Amino acid sequence: DAKTTQPTSMDCAEGRAANLPCNHSTISGNEYVYWYRQIHSQGPQYIIHGLKNNETNEMASLIITEDRKSSTLILPHATLRDTAVYYCIVRDVNDYKLSFGAGTTVTVRA
Amino acid sequence: DTAVSQTPKYLVTQMGNDKSIKCEQNLGHDTMYWYKQDSKKFLKIMFSYNNKELIINETVPNRFSPKSPDKAHLNLHINSLELGDSAVYFCASSQRGQAFFGQGTRLTVV
């Protein structure tokens, strides 16, 4: 029941911005866009979430299109430690189910 | 001070044995989860509890029995372990959509 589509993998140069796309064309009005990442052998880590406005925190920025059918996670200055699988998840904030798809494997190269 | 802690971190056991994995969160969250991540790296939700009540059971074999003695704890007991149970098991807790994960328990059944 995948609600999101992400590229399987992408490479990024260290120090450059990494732009991770996510399509969620069937998103409903109550659903937020969440981003998590999983660094090798660790538990998933929350990054950011948003409803319709763009959001920024110390880790990343989230850009959501006006029609909310897609979004982009931006890591402004990628480091080697940002190498991870990044998951885009669409979810109602009151939904108890948090489902992960295949995600995007991001490799940051020196 | 770890937010979500699981024990043990590693567990190696023989087929047919019964084992438990413990999870504790100190975040005051109402909702807790168990996830399984197999060798193909897909994160699958197994159970979700809210205020000690089972909310989601994703067709997990009844050899797996979660137990929530209080809101801060969600333990996973597994009976009659099988080779296919080998995986990394993650516990998580959430409040209003943002989830925090433990570091995982790597279970190896031999």
Tokens, residue A96: 């108890």
A98: burial class by Cβ within 10 Å (0-12, 13-18, 19+)? buried
CA distance A50 to chain B (A): 11
Contact B59, B70 (CB under 8 A): no
Which residues does A contribute to its contact with B (CB < 8 Å)? 32, 34, 36, 38, 41-46, 49, 85, 87, 91, 93, 95-100, 102
pLDDT tens-digit map of A48-89: 999 999 999 999 999 999 999 999 999 999 999 999 999 999
Paired with B9 in beta bridges are none
The nearest alpha carbon in chain B to A47 belongs to B98
pLDDT tens-digit map of B50-90: 988 888 888 889 999 999 999 999 999 999 999 999 999 99
The three-point CA angle B37-A39-A86 to 5° equals: 85
Contact A13, B61 (CB under 8 A): no
The predicted model gives A17-37 an average pLDDT of 95
Mean per-residue pLDDT over chain A, rounded: 94
